[in-house]
Amino acid sequence: MLEDGRTFHGNSYGAEGETFGEAVFTTGMTGYQETLTDPSYHRQVVVQTAPQIGNTGVNAEDDESDRIWVAGYVVRDPARRPSNWRSTGDLGERLEAEGVVGISGVDTRALTRHLRSLGAMRVGISTVDLDPASLLARVKAQPEMTGADLSAEVTTASRYTVEAVGEHRYTVAALDLGIKRNVSRRLAERGVTTHIFPASSTIDDLLAVSPDAVFLSPGPGDPATADVPVALAREVLSRRTPLFGICFGSQILGRALGFGTYKLGYGHRGINQPVFDKTTGKVEVTSHNHGFAVDAPLNTVIDTDFGGVEVSHVCLNDNVVEGLRALEVPAFTVQYHPEAAAGPHDADYLFDRFVELVEKVEAR
Ligand SMILES: NC(=O)CC[C@H](N)C(=O)O
């Protein structure tokens, strides 16, 4: 039941019961396990446009966090029998085991077109309340994503460390606003040890590990609510410690530089979004999961409290800001996911850019 009253009937998939959230669609044809376990999908009911989901089962290696985060799951045709050499289980059974309410047999193409025309909106899925009027009333009583402050609900309870692989080169303090495992994995491959901090950490907490750089993670919710991490980012910028932000982290760094953020109509979620890197002139195919974006002018150097800043990356579908680069302090961001698993890997170079930025600052 969507908040505008449009209803889709289907079969129970995963757990029975009832769930509510923001209905969003993702166009990724692979990587459903990574999608489900991405904390940025907290409070969102994910609609998969790919018609068949679950074909390769689930495995022990691909989770991006230690649980499924989506509030609900909408698919067309779930696999009746998974088959893959890495598969250790069935997706429907895993959804059920984790209490995730889903629905199958839905015309996900019609649902996606509806969301694309009218925008992301609240939704409910129920196997218990089949009365449209009462379900609709409860959908409308749910909180909206605009104004949602969710970092405290997804962040780590205490600090932990992911060690560098091979020789240790640098130490990064990462603020966990909903981090995905592949971020620290990508850094570890480059000799970086990452200390992952709870969202409420202060600048002194971060400085206690003597970081060579700070990372602001992806995460769920409305960046306009993230005043505490924005203040922290401003302190990091003032200290000229290298700073890299991904997605939610990009929005926070954008706000720290003085930009506003706004909600997109239906967001970018998928793994084939074209992004133009203005620093190289190259187009990369990238993974996205964002419903908000930074509001900044595209083709000019913008004067901020921390010197000139330019938009470094732009989405070629709709000209949305996909990255920022500070010219006078060592800080940059991307709104999309260079750490993307199951790929694509075009944007992997951004982790090299981060390490090169740290190298440059250290060499001074
Ligand atoms: N993946 C993310 O970090 C998402 C950021 C933010 N919650 C958005 O939807 O835009």
Q: Which of 301, 25, 1 is nearest to 124 (CA)?
A: 1
| Number of DSSP helices (H) and strands (E) in the chain, helices first | 10, 19
What contacts 24+ positions apart, CB below 8 Å, involve 349-355?
350/244, 351/186, 351/187, 351/189, 351/190, 352/190, 354/187, 354/213, 354/215, 354/242, 354/244, 355/169, 355/170, 355/190, 355/191, 355/192
Claim to verify: residue 169 and residue 289 sit in the same structural domain: yes
Say if 262 falls within a structural domain.
Answer: yes
Claim to verify: residue 113 and residue 164 sit in the same structural domain: no
What distance in angstroms lies between residue 260's CA and the mean position of ligand 1's atoms? 15
Say if 146 falls within a structural domain.
Answer: no
Instruction: Provide the pLDDT for residue 25.
Output: 98
Per-residue pLDDT of the chain (364 residues; tens, 9 = 90+): 999 999 999 999 999 999 999 999 999 999 999 999 999 999 999 999 999 999 999 999 999 999 999 999 999 999 999 999 999 999 999 999 999 999 999 999 999 999 999 999 999 999 999 999 999 999 999 999 999 999 999 999 999 999 999 999 999 999 999 999 999 999 999 999 999 999 999 999 999 999 999 999 999 999 999 999 999 999 999 999 999 999 999 999 999 999 999 999 999 999 999 999 999 999 999 999 999 999 999 999 999 999 999 999 999 999 999 999 999 999 999 999 999 998 899 999 999 999 999 999 999 8
What distance in angstroms lies between residue 40's CA and the mean position of ligand 1's atoms? 6
Q: Where is the domain boundary, 109, 140, 171?
A: 140
Say which of 22, 64, 284, 339 is annotated catalytic: 339
Q: Which of 64, 8, 71, 83 is nearest to 42 (CA)?
A: 71
Claim to verify: residue 295 and residue 230 sit in the same structural domain: yes
Cβ contact 334:171 at 8 Å: no
Strands (E), the chain: 11-14, 18-26, 44-48, 52-53, 72-74, 77-78, 101-104, 121-126, 160-162, 170-175, 192-197, 213-216, 243-246, 260-277, 282-295, 302-304, 307-315, 321-326, 331-334
Can you give the CATH number for the domain in which 67 is found?
3.50.30.20
Number of separate domains in the chain: 2
Amino acid type, 262: Y
Instruction: Provide the pLDDT for residue 342.
Output: 86
Say if 121 falls within a structural domain.
Answer: yes
Claim to verify: residue 128 and residue 164 sit in the same structural domain: no
Cβ contact 75:106 at 8 Å: yes
- pLDDT tens string 74-122: 999 999 999 999 999 999 999 999 999 999 999 999 999 999 999 999 9
291 among the known binding-site residues?
yes
First CA to last CA distance, the chain: 58
3-state class (DSSP) for residue 321: strand
Phi, psi angles (nearest 5°) of residue 301: -85, 125
CA nearest ligand 1 atom 5, residue: 248
d(CA 322, CA 246) in angstroms, rounded, equals: 10
Claim to verify: residue 216 and residue 326 sit in the same structural domain: yes
Say if 303 falls within a structural domain.
Answer: yes
- Domain containing 175 equals 151-363
Q: Is 153 a catalytic residue?
A: no
Residue entry with tokens 């090169």: 356
Q: Where is the domain boundary, 105, 140, 175?
A: 140
Claim to verify: residue 174 and residue 307 sit in the same structural domain: yes
d(CA 137, CA 19) in angstroms, rounded, equals: 14
Claim to verify: residue 281 and residue 135 sit in the same structural domain: no
Say if 284 falls within a structural domain.
Answer: yes
Q: Which of 298, 274, 297 is nearest to 286 (CA)?
A: 274
Say if 69 falls within a structural domain.
Answer: yes
Instruction: Provide the pLDDT for residue 300.
Output: 96
* ipTM greater than cut 0.90: yes
Q: Where is the domain boundary, 140, 166, 201?
A: 140
Claim to verify: residue 18 and residue 78 sit in the same structural domain: yes
Claim to verify: residue 37 and residue 184 sit in the same structural domain: no
Say if 233 falls within a structural domain.
Answer: yes
Reading the block at residue 312, the tokens are: 């470094």
Q: Which of 343, 355, 346 is nearest to 182 (CA)?
A: 343
Q: Is 61 a catalytic residue?
A: no
Claim to verify: residue 187 and residue 293 sit in the same structural domain: yes
Say which of 22, 64, 247, 268 is annotated catalytic: 247
Claim to verify: residue 215 and residue 359 sit in the same structural domain: yes
Q: Is the CB of 229 under 6 A from ligand 1?
A: no
d(CA 341, CA 355) in angstroms, rounded, equals: 20
Strand bridging mode 121-126 / 18-26: antiparallel
Task: Provide DSSP, 270-314.
Answer: EEEEEEEETTTTEEEEEEEEEEEEEE--SSSPEEETTEEEEEEEE
Can you give the CATH number for the domain in which 326 is found?
3.40.50.880
d(CA 250, CA 323) in angstroms, rounded, equals: 7
Q: Is the CB of 336 under 6 A from ligand 1?
A: no
Q: Is 337 a catalytic residue?
A: yes
Claim to verify: residue 291 and residue 167 sit in the same structural domain: yes
What distance in angstroms lies between residue 335's CA and the mean position of ligand 1's atoms? 8
Amino acid type, 101: V
What distance in angstroms lies between residue 181's CA and the mean position of ligand 1's atoms? 16
Say if 200 falls within a structural domain.
Answer: yes
